[in-house]
Amino acid sequence: MIVVMEQDATADQIQHMAERIESLGLKSHVIHGTEHTVIAAIGEKREHMKESLESGAGVSKVVPIMAPYKIASREVKPEPTCVSVGSLSVGGGKLGVIAGPCSVESEEQLMECAHAVKAAGGTALRGGAFKPRTSPYSFQGLKEEGLKILAAAREETGLSIVTEVLATDDVDMVASYADVLQIGARNMQNYRLLEAVGNVDSAVLLKRGPSASMDELLLAAEYILNEGNQNVMLCERGIRTFEGHTRFTLPLASVTYLHHKTHLPIVIDPSHGTGHAYMVPDMAVAAAAIKTDGLIIEMHPRPDEAFSDGYQSLDFDMFNETMSRIKSMANNVGMTI
């Protein structure tokens, strides 16, 4: 860390900070600049030190040098992680395509989707049984009944199942039906839930919160990894900005950035990332063009009758066409689905 002192910091304040740095087990190194004095704090970083030093008398700011996460870091594990579970492989040259409806609405609806996903070449089936809804008056999901339908669809099609888990109490039950536990954007910093899914055998799909920084996302992953579960996929699903013509703003540079910083595989969600069905295919294809490790796409047999997210769901024709474009693009850039 670099501790930047205020321009009018006194010699006493500077000495005091140097001593505090040493008392934290770091070495201090004072540099007198033309207008400001800075103190380099050398040693293995631990997170709470930054905060502690920042409140020191005469301190202007503290600049961290090292990334705050460890196990997730590419510096620690340079080779990419591939998460493989049943029909789904994500990472290390494999492009996983997860598709299905926002909500499991009925056995019939889900089975239609499962067969369509399978036929088009998707590698996993998504579907929400526990739905976190902005309004208490909206449809909240079929709950365990929905999980049973998902398991039946796996039985019939062989597709791995991805579904969201909302609460620590449900982790074991959801894990008993599903292959991949999704942590939704609203729960990205629900640390108890992260710890809970860090202690099961299922893979985890961790969605970025709409205002989370990349460091916050990687530290959320670190909560899971730190409990022992190494099968973690990161999902970029868009951030909240002033843009009004898309539901969220989808920064595809996240693929490039995360591939640079972490060995964990990256999944792009073009459905929430745009919020409009007509934009979904392009964003899926653009992500494939830069070797995203996975895609998660909402589709529905009849979007205009969907219980949730119909406006961003592809119908089967659009989905089939999108899968063709994705497969062609994967082929072009040397990925296998």
CA distance 279 to 80: 30
Residue closer to a second copy (CB basis): 25 or 158: 25
CB 147 within 8 A of CB 119: no
Considering only 109-117, 118-126, 142-150, 243-251, which stretch makes contact with a second copy by CB under 8 A? 243-251
Interface residues for a second copy in 63-102 (CB under 8 A)? 63, 65-66, 68-69, 75
Nearest-approach distance from CB 106 to a second copy, in angstroms: 16
Among 179, 236, 269, 309, binds a second copy (CB under 8 A): 309
Of positions 308, 322, 327, 335, contacts a second copy by CB under 8 A: 308
Min CB(155)–a second copy separation in Å: 29
Torsion of CA 268, 270, 272, 274, to 10 degrees: 140
What three-state secondary structure class fits 161? strand
Phi, psi angle pair for 297, to nearest 5°: -130, 135
Tokens of 255: 């693929």
Give the chain's largest Cα–Cα span.
Answer: 75
For the CB of residue 195, give the shortest distance to a second copy in the complex, in Å. Answer: 8
Q: Which of residues 142-181 bind a second copy (CB under 8 A)?
A: 166-169
CA distance 335 to 284: 14
Least Å distance, CB 285 to a second copy, is 5
In which element (H, E) is residue 266 found? strand 266-268
Please choose, from the candidates 135, 255, 261, 129, the residue with its C-alpha nearest in 3D space to the C-alpha of residue 182.
129
190 binds a second copy (CB under 8 A): yes
Examine residue 297 and tell whether it contacts a second copy (CB under 8 A).
Answer: no
What CA–CA distance (Å, rounded) separates 79 from 93?
Answer: 12
Phi, psi of 124 (to 5 degrees): -155, 160
Name which of 52 and 320 has its Cβ closer to a second copy.
Answer: 52
- Return d(Cα 114, Cα 121) in angstroms, integer: 11
Among the listed residues 84, 226, 230, 320, the single contact to a second copy using CB under 8 A: 226
Q: Which of 112, 164, 179, 222 binds a second copy (CB under 8 A)?
A: 222
- From first CA to last CA, the distance across the chain in angstroms is 43
Contact positions with a second copy (CB under 8 A) in 109-138: 132-138
Asked if 47 interacts with a second copy (CB under 8 A), we say: yes
- Minimal distance, residue 121 CB to a second copy, in Å: 18
Nearest approach in angstroms of CB 22 to a second copy is: 15
Q: Decide if residue 251 touches a second copy (CB under 8 A).
A: yes
Residues within window 253-292 making contact with a second copy, judged by CB under 8 A: 253, 255-257, 260, 273-274, 277-279, 282-283, 285-290
CB of 160 to a second copy, least distance (A): 26
CB neighbours of 253 closer than 8 A, spacing ≥ 6?
none
DSSP notation for 297-325: EEB-SSGGG-SS-GGG-B-HHHHHHHHHH
CB half-sphere exposure, 309, CA atoms < 13 A: 31
Q: Of 17 and 124, which has the nearer Cβ to a second copy?
A: 17
Contact between 230 and a second copy by CB under 8 A: the answer reads no
Which residue from 243, 321, 324, 336 is in contact with a second copy, where contact means CB under 8 A? 243
